[in-house]
Amino acid sequence: MRTFKRRSVVSLALVSALTLTLGACGGADNGGDRPASSTSVSVFTGQVGDFTAPNFNPFNTTGSFLQPTQGVIYEALFYYNIARADQPRPVLGTAFEWNEDGTVLTVELRKGVKFSDGSALTADDVVFSLDLVSHNPALNTSGQVWQTDKLDADTVTLTFPKPAFTLEAQILGREPIVPQAIWRDIADPTAGTNDSPVGTGPYMFSEYTPQAIILQRNPNYWGTGAEAPAIEYVRYISLANADAATTALQQGVTDWQGSFLPTLKDLIAQANGTLSYSNTPQATTGLFTCSNAALGCTGPQTDPAVRQAMYYAMDRTQLNTQAAAGFSLPASPTLLPNFINQAEIVDPAHREVPQTADLARAKSILEQAGWTMGPEGYYVKDGQTLEMTLSDVSGWTDYNTMCELIAGQFKAAGIKLTVNHVAQNQWSQAEVSGNFQLSMNSVNMGASSNPYYTYNLYVNGAGARPVGEAAVTTNTMRYSNPAVDAAVTTLASTNDPDELRAQYAIIQNALAEDLPIIPIYVNSALCEYNLTHATGWPSQDNLYAFPLPWGGNWGTGIVLRTIRPV
């Protein structure tokens, strides 16, 4: 069998930009003492206040399961690293191959794997787990129902009714393999908290308190040597408040956290080698526009000329320096991170958005579209001032700062912008229902770097809904372009490199013209590490896994089994 025939990478649908903004002051709640063993690490995922319950249900669809559920307690067949352009990494599977037309996927399984209760993982467990997802509409959002069969004790096949190349990363990299003996009698796998989880991952649940979730090394883990976990205990802790994160990191209360710390470089310089960090940007931050007047969007942002003017009115260098502490990277109008997807960005002119404002061009675009400068310094058309409202989440201080800066930049271009900082639930509901004009959010890459997933989730018109109806994908912009929709459909059914590039070009040219999302930069994804208790954390030189310890990241298990005690 030819291993890893196709490299690809889907998103957790409707995962919003999770920008955890933490200050540089305040005391830390240590979440309980470390276990007596010296080989323990503590992880802070942003949990402020008590944990409400030990929820380890890998099939929960509300996102309320605890972070170690995916990748740490339960494993998938392969790991897809979105931090760099890696081939899929074997986990419970060792190799896979598609047939020529993309309707049959054959997977070889790792031999000798056991669950944490000591029972053997069999091909029957894999068949059960994958078919459980396939035949449950709440879990299978792909629109394709597949059939999983056991070819022999170490091989399974998945058969699809039509080409399914683009389902590879979701099925192989994001579906948990569970013991059939436990789950076959559960009527609704999405319900319940599964508070005594049994998985194949490097760690197993040990203890719960409202301040800490404690995991213990799985004595039955399949990994040996460098793939065997060396740390005995892992604690997921809560802190009293967000401001406590900096102090917790400095004092060694936390060993690993994913936080935006504006003073991070100074903290590292003052730490005498005890702190390190990694930065793995992959989410394109931008202005999401309610763009489709035909579906009920109202406001000047429904005019493509206005969106183009906003695109050129931004000084992104200032935004990165003053809002992102210089940690973000240039975005692309294609919505793909150009440092990961450079090969898939067809037109070199689309690899990077302008880094400084071009006010003359912004104003020219508006004037050609019939806008004229009014007496108050803002453009006017048909008696209406060019005025819009931009919403973001109150407390996301990098976004809050950026929105205020953008308002000043737009004023210089004759565009009046009112910034509205709101509670997260209000912000999210406004986007989902379409009751907004502009919203600050991010385009998340998803399970792999395959552009199909970004385009299918964010700009496929099949997911567009009228204002007032809940969005069914992350196409909260209500964007619909028939040429883009046809190209996305073609992407889902081909594995031909030339055909893929042709369809990418159609989509990317349309996005650069229509700008339903006005890209700003690829937002930082910072992780901080205290090196007192463990080494081997990801670094800029060795991003062996996507390291963020929150957001449903399957790479956390790879990190925890790689680090070694000091």
How many other CB atoms are found less than 10 A from the CB of residue 9? 27
Half-sphere exposure of 196 (CA within 13 A, CB side): 3
Residues whose CB falls within 8 Å of the CB of residue 399, separated by 6 or more in sequence, listed in order:
19, 21, 285, 323, 392, 393, 440
* pLDDT at residue 72 in the model: 98
CA distance 87 to 99: 19
CA distance 284 to 287: 10
* pLDDT at residue 134 in the model: 96
Beta strands 387-393 and 438-443, pairing class: parallel
* pLDDT at residue 552 in the model: 81
Q: Letter for the amino acid at 326? A: G
Residues whose CB falls within 8 Å of the CB of residue 412, separated by 6 or more in sequence, listed in order:
313, 357, 359
Estimate to the nearest angstrom the gap between the alpha carbon of 51 and the chain centroid.
23
Closest CA to 37 of 260, 235, 246: 235
* pLDDT at residue 397 in the model: 85
Write the DSSP assignment of 117-166 as a string of letters: TSPBP-HHHHHHHHHHHHT-TTT--SS---EEEEEETTEEEEE-SS--GG
Segments in the chain below pLDDT 50:
1-32
Which tokens go with 149? 């069969």
Report the CATH number of the 283-523 domain.
3.10.105.10
Residue 286 in contact with residue 71, Cβ under 8 Å? Answer: no
* pLDDT at residue 289 in the model: 98
Write the DSSP assignment of 413-454 as a string of letters: TT-EEEEEEE-HHHHHHHHHHT--SEEEEEE---SSS-HHHH
Q: Letter for the amino acid at 286? A: G
Which tokens go with 391? 């919403």
* pLDDT at residue 47 in the model: 85
Residue 229 in contact with residue 217, Cβ under 8 Å? Answer: yes
